[in-house]
Amino acid sequence: MSDSLKKIPIKVENQGKDTVTVPLYESQRKIYPRAVKGLFNNFRILFVVATQLLYLGLPWLQWNGRQAVFFDMVNRKFYLFGLTVWPQDFVYLAALLMCCAFGLFTWTTIAGRLWCGYSCPQTVYTEIMLWIEQWVEGDRGKRIKLDAAPMSLAKLRLKTTKHALMLAFSLWTGFTLVGYFTPIRSLVAAIPSFGYGPWETFWMFFYGGFTYLFAVFMREQVCKYMCPYARFQSVMFDADTLIISYDEARGEARGARKKGADPKELGLGDCINCSICVQVCPVGIDIRNGLQYECIGCAACIDACDDVMDKMNYPRGLIRYTTENALEGKYPEKDIPSRLRRPRVVMYVLVLAIVFSAAVTSLALRKPFKVDIIRDRASLVRETDEGWLENTYIIKIINTTEQSQRFSITANGLPGIRAKAEQAEVRVGATETESVTVHVEADPQYATKGSHPIRFVIESLNHPSLRVEEKSSFIGE
């Protein structure tokens, strides 16, 4: 551990002393996580690969001749495979955020920080950078020895290679992010000339730079000091939350012994005090000291401890997923699943189900087109050659489907009212918007002075049963 600790002077009163200094915070010490194999490590690898295939691969998928997942900020349309989301649909974004929040609350109450340990981008990117580091520099012992050695050509070569690969991956993540907002194939075509706009260039290097900074240099510091989830997770924990725990009753007292030795005869517990559980921890904590807010729930210590127990011919599970109540013997561990029905979990699941069901139902019932009515403010009312009164409107029809549609426009609300569009049949292309000028005429004996409520009826000729009615008003004189 580094000795460079920031200190502040604190004056101690009534003790005959002048001033003493106490640590304000500890400077970062580099952690060298030891490689580990086991069930939970396999799950981590699976989640790292799956999340990166999803993130890096989605922009390359095609759907109906366009990018399958594309956020078109210029035209204000978000494409999600066959679904087109418009600014008017942003209520679904609110529903999505609520589902993510309550989903996270539910999962945390049930099983702790599994999101942090397996799927969080900080964890995923850090794991990838560790793979690169181990591939270039070697295992934990070699990396410690390399950092302690004086600079040489061999060390410079290894460090340069490692950071070049890390920078390349970081820039790849930034390039992919921009590919969700600018067609990624056009981004690739522009690589030789670097023909990118200022915002595209900024976001590539901004996202890639912070990926490099956080996953290469800051690592566990982000989880400890920057991430708010680590701070408020305890609010969602209770004595029945599944957490990684060290079985103190079984493990104490700690001590070294020969393989196969009976710990009871030696007056020891099952823990041989090898400290491998600390060496594999990506945040450098000792789980034997109890649950700590720094723990991200990656379960590397479980895999490491189980491997040691196997070698010592001891039962597995000295470090395991369990609950505080089960560890204290308030109920057997086989009853842990029954604790899922506790009120906090039920309420979270209920709210999540309601929001999700409402969003899905609304999306399923959404009409395949939207209509906006805009009154022509330049000419509120005029008299036609026939002596009728005329109001002018601009009707904007938004086709939210992947197929071209045809529409008819009529109006009602006043006797004899008639709507005359620029064309009798309005054609709107797939996921396109068409603005149509409509002149509405009414008999002056019914359209007296003032405002009269009317309704526009826009009917899809492709699907006659589908129609949208929008309220407006007709100004008489």
Q: For 88-92, 146-150, 219-223, which range has the lowest pLDDT when averaged over its residues?
A: 88-92
Kindly report, residue by residue over 376-389, the tens digit of the pLDDT.
877 778 888 888 99
pLDDT at 134: 95
Of residues 29, 221, 233, 36, the one with CA closest to residue 126: 221
Tokens representing residue 288 in the block: 């034997």
pLDDT at 5: 39
What are the extents of the domains in the chain?
28-366, 369-476
pLDDT at 83: 84
pLDDT at 7: 41
* CB-based contacts of 243, cutoff 8 Å, min separation 6: 112, 237, 291, 297, 321, 322, 323, 324
Question: Does pLDDT of 122 surpass 90?
Answer: yes
Work out the percent of the chain whose per-residue pLDDT is above 90: 53
Quick one: which H or E segment has residue 124?
helix 121-137
For 161-199, letters b (16+ CB in 10 Å) and e give ebbebbeebbbebbbbbbbbbbebeebeeeeeeeebeee
Across the chain, which distance is largest between two alpha carbons, in Å? 112
Before 358, cis peptide (omega within 30)? no
**What's the CATH number for 369-476?**
2.60.40.10
Query: What is the arithmetic mean of pLDDT over 209-233?
Result: 88
Kindly report, residue by residue over 182-198, the tens digit of the pLDDT.
999 999 999 999 989 99
Query: What is the arithmetic mean of pLDDT over 306-312?
Result: 94
pLDDT at 228: 83
Query: What is the arithmetic mean of pLDDT over 345-369?
Result: 90
Kindly report, residue by residue over 131-177, the tens digit of the pLDDT.
999 999 999 999 999 999 999 999 999 999 999 999 999 999 999 99
Query: What is the arithmetic mean of pLDDT over 335-362?
Result: 91
Of residues 102, 114, 105, the one with CA closest to residue 357: 102
Structure pTM?
A: 0.83
pLDDT-based confidence at residue 422 (cuts at 50, 70, 90): confident
Q: For 39-53, 222-236, 327-341, which range has the lowest pLDDT when averaged over its residues?
A: 222-236
pLDDT-based confidence at residue 20 (cuts at 50, 70, 90): low
pLDDT at 157: 96
pLDDT-based confidence at residue 1 (cuts at 50, 70, 90): very low
pLDDT at 447: 86
pLDDT at 229: 80
Amino acid identity, position 318: L
pLDDT-based confidence at residue 448 (cuts at 50, 70, 90): confident
pLDDT at 27: 66
Query: What is the arithmetic mean of pLDDT over 109-116?
Result: 89
pLDDT at 19: 56
Do 98 and 357 meet the contact criterion of CB atoms below 8 Å apart? Answer: no
Query: Mean pLDDT for the chain?
Result: 88
pLDDT-based confidence at residue 18 (cuts at 50, 70, 90): low
Question: Does pLDDT of 304 surpass 70?
Answer: yes
Q: For 21-30, 202-211, 308-317, 426-435, which range has the lowest pLDDT when averaged over its residues?
A: 21-30
Question: Does pLDDT of 449 surpass 90?
Answer: no
pLDDT at 68: 93
